[in-house]
Amino acid sequence: MEADGAENTDISNTKKPKHKGKHDKPKPWDEDPNIDRWKIEKFDPSWNQGGMLDVSSFSTLFPKYREKYLTDAWPMVKSALKEFGIDCELNKNEGSMTVKTTIKTRDPYIIVKARDLIKLLSRSVPAPQAIKILNDDMSCDIIKIGNMIRNKERFVKRRQNLVGPNSSTLKALELLTGCYILVQGNTVAAMGSFKGLKQVRRIVEDCIQNKMHPVYHIKILMMKKELEKDPALKNENWDRFLPKYKKKTVKQKKVKSKKKKQDTPFPPPQQPSMEDIQLETGEYFLSDKKKQAKKWHEKQEKQLEKTTENKRKREAAFVPPKELIKEDPSTYADNNNDVAAMAMSLKKKSKEFGKQKSFENVNPEDYIATSGEQPRKKKSKRD
């Protein structure tokens, strides 16, 4: 028995570990350079000759101000959807648009495209532009920006940054991303390829959240367009070529927070009433005649103060201004003499100081003649 148990343990240890994807063997078409895996092939009705098994429908509401435009453009929308076997309905009473499949529908994904079409129409996208969503190589994205920021004023300013002056920023983004962009209310509707829609969403979110201005994104996209033309940089990292922008934080003034009063369980002290104040001053025990006399006396004092103040203001206009006292010319001459004497004394002192320095700087070797050397004769001016 022990030998059998040992054999079983050896067999269990020798089992090969299971690994996922063991059947994923390389296929001959995996490394074929002629195959474009990003290409979207156009749908062929022969792929689904039986049609749809059940009816699928989508509906969406539209605002009141779009009713007139939609009634005018509805025949164009209806004829475009009819080509793909989709039925559409415009309900003015409920303010809704509905699309549904029919027996003639062959493409199973076209109903999703029709749903996107009525969404774009309700978001103020023009009908000729919205109908392009029915093409296979066209996608759409509706970005909600209303709840990204609470402050209404900041939201309006940042949304204007996205549009730019005379819609210049928006046009530049459309050219670089290859997408149609429409900013309307609290949403941004975009139409284009998947790659372009991904770029548009990142730019819009960075702008509304104040992470990066759209102008910087435009500069980066322009540089990427130039780098794409160089085949040598096709498989390299482009981060070293792209500019890096740091967000500058502006120092804001700190709001002084008011000190909160400490919450105490005891009520505030009771304020004294008029009777308590009169009791303290002794006025409570006075008679009515004495009270009136006191009031009259206080009134007279106030009137006297007011009259004296008014009188002082009236008399101030008649007070002559103080005259400037002119100095005598004799005193002016004495001052000039004092300054001149001081200047002469300073000159004498500077001369004495210069002589003293010249004596200190005398070199005795210039005056002592060494043995064997004759003193040099001065050159005559005549020579």
Q: Position 250: which residue type? A: V
What digits encode the pLDDT tens for the residues 177-203? 999 999 988 999 999 998 999 999 999
Alpha helices in the chain (DSSP H): 2-14, 67-82, 110-122, 127-130, 152-163, 168-177, 194-208, 214-228, 274-281, 288-316, 329-360
CB atoms closer than 10 angstroms to residue 93:
5
The model carries a pTM of: 0.56
Q: What is the pLDDT of residue 371?
A: 45
Q: What is the pLDDT of residue 251?
A: 64
Q: What is the pLDDT of residue 19?
A: 59
Q: Hey, what domains does the chain have and what are their CATH numbers? A: 41-136 (3.30.1370.10), 137-245 (3.30.1370.10)
Alpha helices in 25-109 (DSSP H): 67-82
- Cβ atoms of 122 and 115 closer than 8 Å: no
How far, in Å, CA of 52 to CA of 114, rounded? Answer: 15
Q: What is the pLDDT of residue 372?
A: 47
Q: What is the pLDDT of residue 198?
A: 93
Walking along the chain (383 residues) 10 residues at a time, the average pLDDT comes out as 49 55 73 77 84 90 92 93 92 92 90 94 92 91 90 91 90 92 92 92 92 89 86 80 72 70 82 88 85 90 93 86 65 63 80 66 54 50 48
Q: What is the pLDDT of residue 78?
A: 93
Tell how far CA 147 is from the center of its chain: 16
**164 phi-psi bin (left φ>0, alpha ψ -120 to 50, beta other):** left
Name residue 98's beta-bridge partners.
Answer: 59, 89
Q: Is residue 91 classed as helix, strand or coil in its secondary structure?
A: strand
Q: What is the pLDDT of residue 1?
A: 46
Output the CA angle 97-103-106, nearest 5 degrees: 90
Sheet order of strands, 139-144 included? 139-144, 187-192, 180-184
